[in-house]
Amino acid sequence: MATRPAAFAEIAPIVVDLVVGCPPQRAFDYFTRDVGRWWPLESHSVGGEAAHGVRFELRKGGRLVETLPGGSETTWGTVEDWRPGERVRFTWHPGREAATAQWVEVAFAANPAGTRVTLTHGGWEALGNAAAATRGNYVTGWQLVFGERFGGYCTSNLASRA
């Protein structure tokens, strides 16, 4: 195993944890199948307000892709692990080259209140000198996107099923 220079020491991943009131399979489906319904494209996308949608290709090796005006697409990442109801792991490089990809893993575990969903985003070292600043932006970004938007989507869907 090669050693890294001290300048490229590992940067701690971001971990965001929440509990949603549905079973793991449903939470997994809400996160993956329904990503285009809860993701805040207007503020967190390549195309901004002009973005038309975002979707997972629902399989290992599939992409997480944003649709732009005119039907063009930009790849945000590629699914590396696909275990419905348990875990999805994908590379992450929206608006950047794949060589700068970090990784995101979302785990789904049964919990007495429904499902504990844990998002972990790491691999910051791939961004070189921009790693620390970019990570800092994602701390608040994931709180909004994952904590508020995904968590809120789960809650609103549960309320509509009642």
CATH number of the domain residue 29 falls in: 3.30.530.20
Q: Which domain holds residue 99?
A: 15-161
The answer to whether position 96 is within a domain reads: yes
Please tell me the pTM assigned to this model. Answer: 0.91
What pLDDT score was predicted for residue 1?
A: 45
Owner of token pair 């997480």 = 64
What pLDDT score was predicted for residue 7?
A: 52
The answer to whether position 1 is within a domain reads: no
Per-residue pLDDT of the chain (162 residues; tens, 9 = 90+): 444 444 556 899 999 999 999 999 999 999 999 999 999 999 999 999 999 999 999 999 999 999 998 999 999 999 999 999 999 999 999 999 999 999 999 999 999 999 999 999 999 999 999 999 999 999 999 999 999 999 999 998 876 665
Q: Are 89 and 97 in contact (CB under 8 A)?
A: no
The answer to whether position 8 is within a domain reads: no
Q: Are 11 and 125 in contact (CB under 8 A)?
A: yes
In a 3-state reduction of DSSP, which class is residue 146? helix
Q: Are 115 and 108 in contact (CB under 8 A)?
A: yes
Count of domains observed in the chain: 1
The answer to whether position 114 is within a domain reads: yes
Rounded (10°) angle between helices 151-161 and 24-32: 120
The answer to whether position 10 is within a domain reads: no
